[in-house]
């Protein structure tokens, strides 16, 4: 992916508005084949950090789904998503709690 496009995606993944972050996480899935291995692993690390502090459940779900899709590229390992361990699972709905657990087990 071209650097300018990649940086724009990173910017919107960190936007203050949870709806914008949610749409950006969904956009990650639309470009999976365009990422270099380094870009895929960096996005997964960024999304993991963002998810660890995400307060909006819908946005968190989109971030987790994007991480799962990035992991499927083969360029993302457990170390890239280790920040998901910082999520307080007890505060999440069961389906999202299971999602985080599955990602950490991958």
| Domain count within the chain | 1
Task: Please give the residue range of the domain that contains residue 24.
Answer: 3-105
Measured CA to CA, the distance from residue 52 to residue 85 in angstroms comes to 8
Q: Within 31-77, where are the H helices?
A: 37-52, 57-71
pLDDT tens string 7-65: 999 999 999 999 999 999 999 999 999 999 999 999 999 999 999 999 999 999 999 99
> For the domain that residue 19 is a member of, what is the CATH number?
1.25.10.10
pTM over 0.75: yes
pLDDT at 106 over 80: no
pLDDT tens string 77-96: 999 999 999 999 888 999 89
Burial classification of residue 95, based on how many CB atoms lie within 10 Å of its CB (0-12 exposed, 13-18 middle, 19 or more buried):
exposed
Q: Are 71 and 84 in contact (CB under 8 A)?
A: no
């Amino acid at each position: 992916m071209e650097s300018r496009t990649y940086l724009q995606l990173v910017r919107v993944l960190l936007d203050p508005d949870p709806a914008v972050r949610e749409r950006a996480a969904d956009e990650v899935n639309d470009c999976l084949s365009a990422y270099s291995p380094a870009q895929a692993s960096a996005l997964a690390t960024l999304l993991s950090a963002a998810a660890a502090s995400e307060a909006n459940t819908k946005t968190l779900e989109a971030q987790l789904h994007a991480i799962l899709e990035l992991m499927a590229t083969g360029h993302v390992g457990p170390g890239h998503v280790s920040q998901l361990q910082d999520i307080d699972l007890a505060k999440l709905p069961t389906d999202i709690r299971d999602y985080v657990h599955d990602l950490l087990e991958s």
